[in-house]
Amino acid sequence: MTLPHFPDLSSRTALVTGGAEGIGRAIVEAFATQGTAVAFLDRNVELGEALAADLVATGAQVVFRAVDLREIGATQEAIRALAANLGPFSICVNNAGHDERHRFDEVTETYWDDRLAVNLRPMMFVSQAVAPGMRALGGGAIVNLGSTSWMQGASGLIAYTTAKSAVIGFTRSLARELGPDGIRVNCVTPGWVMTERQRKTWWTPEKWAAAQVRQSIKGEILPEDIAAMVLFLSSGAARRCTGQNYIVDAGVV
Ligand SMILES: NC(=O)c1ccc[n+]([C@@H]2O[C@H](COP(=O)([O-])OP(=O)(O)OC[C@H]3O[C@@H](n4cnc5c(N)ncnc54)[C@H](O)[C@@H]3O)[C@@H](O)[C@H]2O)c1
């Protein structure tokens, strides 16, 4: 698909979490093609370094930092170092997440905390780290990635679905906290997006057929479809959009 162009994004600096693979990777690439300076965080060193090198070779301004977002101190330190290098971030995309499956009866306290530490906690502390820079710039945009899994009653991943439902409450509360500073906060909620990992791990002909029955628009939802919504919400075109949840699921009804 051809991504839309938002001219104001070329003078911005964006931070993306979980940018080495999947939807995050498409978001990093999308910002790079807009001329946005992009920094991304990921724990996958090999993929992160390769993506950054590929994009820098095209003339884009892209920086990668390896970090496990479960380590809040290291994450906030990485963000401070990146901002010192690139200038304060006016865009932040809290994308990283992991839909690891687990049986309800087997979830331990440690496992529960760990899943929330991947799928929810970084949103709070990454936002906290970028907010002062956004305030100094006079505004900014934060986009959080949700998931339709809990809306559809998906089973076998209750820690993930709980975290993802909380992203909407977090988004609305953060929009209230930061709105007076000109910082907009929105949630993008994808349906089933055909990333490499989804194709490899979860795709079966039966699941695909069932998803197609429920989608109003038939066919694959691609990472770029999510990136397009993230670009819009990050741009000045969305200057009156905040505290909202934008579902990109090809119309599951
Ligand atoms: N693909 C889908 O169908 C789908 C559907 C709904 C929501 N989502 C959401 O979209 C976002 C991106 O999902 P995706 O499908 O691209 O996932 P993915 O697994 O393909 O990529 C996730 C990226 O995040 C990184 N990451 C994960 N945990 C991390 C950690 N602790 N520290 C640092 N990096 C970490 C991974 O290394 C990877 O690069 C997630 O928030 C996910 O919940 C995806």
Is 2 part of a structural domain of the chain?
no
Average confidence score pLDDT of the chain: 98
pLDDT tens across 191-222, in order? 999 999 999 999 999 999 999 999 999 999 99
Residue 90: pLDDT over 90: yes
Q: What is the pLDDT of residue 65?
A: 98
Is 171 part of a structural domain of the chain?
yes
Is 203 part of a structural domain of the chain?
no
Pocket test for ligand 1, best of 116, 120, 125, 195 (most atoms within 8 A of CB): 195
The confidence band for 71, taking pLDDT boundaries of 50, 70 and 90, is very high
Pocket test for ligand 1, best of 16, 17, 21, 25 (most atoms within 8 A of CB): 21
Q: What mean pLDDT comes out for the span 215-230?
A: 98
Catalytic residues: 160
Give strand pairing partners of 109: none
Is 209 part of a structural domain of the chain?
no
Q: What is the pLDDT of residue 25?
A: 98
d(CA 38, CA 82): 10
- Please tell me the distance between residue 223's alpha carbon and the centre of ligand 1 in angstroms: 11
Domain holding 76, by residue range, is: 7-193+224-248
User: How many CA atoms does the CB half-sphere of 125 hold within 13 Å?
Assistant: 20
Report the CATH number at residue 57. Answer: 3.40.50.720
d(CA 179, CA 139): 9
Q: What mean pLDDT comes out for the span 30-43?
A: 98
The confidence band for 1, taking pLDDT boundaries of 50, 70 and 90, is confident
The confidence band for 180, taking pLDDT boundaries of 50, 70 and 90, is very high
Q: What is the pLDDT of residue 57?
A: 98
User: In this structure, which residue's CA is closest to atom 24 in ligand 1?
Assistant: 18
Q: Please work out whether the CB of residue 207 comes within 6 Å of at least one atom of ligand 1.
A: no
Q: What is the pTM of this model?
A: 0.98
Is 205 part of a structural domain of the chain?
no
Atom of ligand 1 nearest to the CA of 193: 3
Own/partner pairs for 170-179, CB < 8 Å, 24+ apart?
170/120, 170/123, 170/124, 170/144, 171/144, 171/146, 171/243, 171/244, 171/245, 172/243, 174/127, 174/142, 175/242, 175/243, 176/243, 178/131, 178/134, 178/142, 179/242, 179/243
Is 176 part of a structural domain of the chain?
yes
- Please tell me the distance between residue 23's alpha carbon and the centre of ligand 1 in angstroms: 7
Domain count, the chain: 1
Pocket test for ligand 1, best of 15, 27, 43, 224 (most atoms within 8 A of CB): 43
Q: Please work out whether the CB of residue 118 comes within 6 Å of at least one atom of ligand 1.
A: yes
Q: Please work out whether the CB of residue 239 comes within 6 Å of at least one atom of ligand 1.
A: no
Residue 82: pLDDT over 90: yes
Q: 110: buried, middle or exposed (CB in 10 Å: 19+, 13-18, 0-12)?
A: exposed
Specify the pairing of strand 183-190 against strand 140-145.
parallel
In percent, the amount of the chain with pLDDT more than 90 equals 99
d(CA 155, CA 227): 27
